[in-house]
Structure 1
């Protein structure tokens, strides 16, 4: 699942691909935004990210279900 952060005063976005439950990540991000604290995330490759929430304008959480690729099983 991808988590995309948009920041104030910059056109760039931060996209982090994480494993786990969408609801769990949504709760962590909501808590950090509500309390104006940092949110710590670990991507699928083990890299750790600390995001300061004071400049976050929006957060987009992708679907936690796997999408089928190709034409088989339609």
Structure 2
């Protein structure tokens, strides 16, 4: 699923693909905001992304999308 973070004072979004569920991401962001800590996510390629909760403007939780493979129509 794609997750987009709007970061204060930065014009571009931070976008990552992760296998985590929307509920897992939302819970982690909520906890990081309460604790004034970092949101710590790992993307599908194994890269680790740390975002300070105090700098998050918004979080866009995209719908999990299965990618079509092949030439057939759905």
Task: Decide: shared fold, TM above 0.5.
Answer: yes
Q: Does 1:42 align with 2:47?
A: no
Helix, strand or coil for the counterpart of 2:32?
helix
**Partner residue in 2 for 1:54:** 54
Q: Does 1:66 align with 2:73?
A: no
**Partner residue in 1 for 2:10:** 10
Structure 1: state its 5+ residue gaps: none
Structure 2: state its 5+ residue gaps: none
Structure-2-length-normalised TM-score: 0.80
Structure-1-length-normalised TM-score: 0.80
Offset at 1:46? Answer: 0.5
Segments of 4+ in structure 1 off by > 6 A?
Answer: none
> Is the 8 Å Cα contact of residues 20 and 64 (structure 1) preserved in structure 2?
no
Offset at 1:26? Answer: 1.4
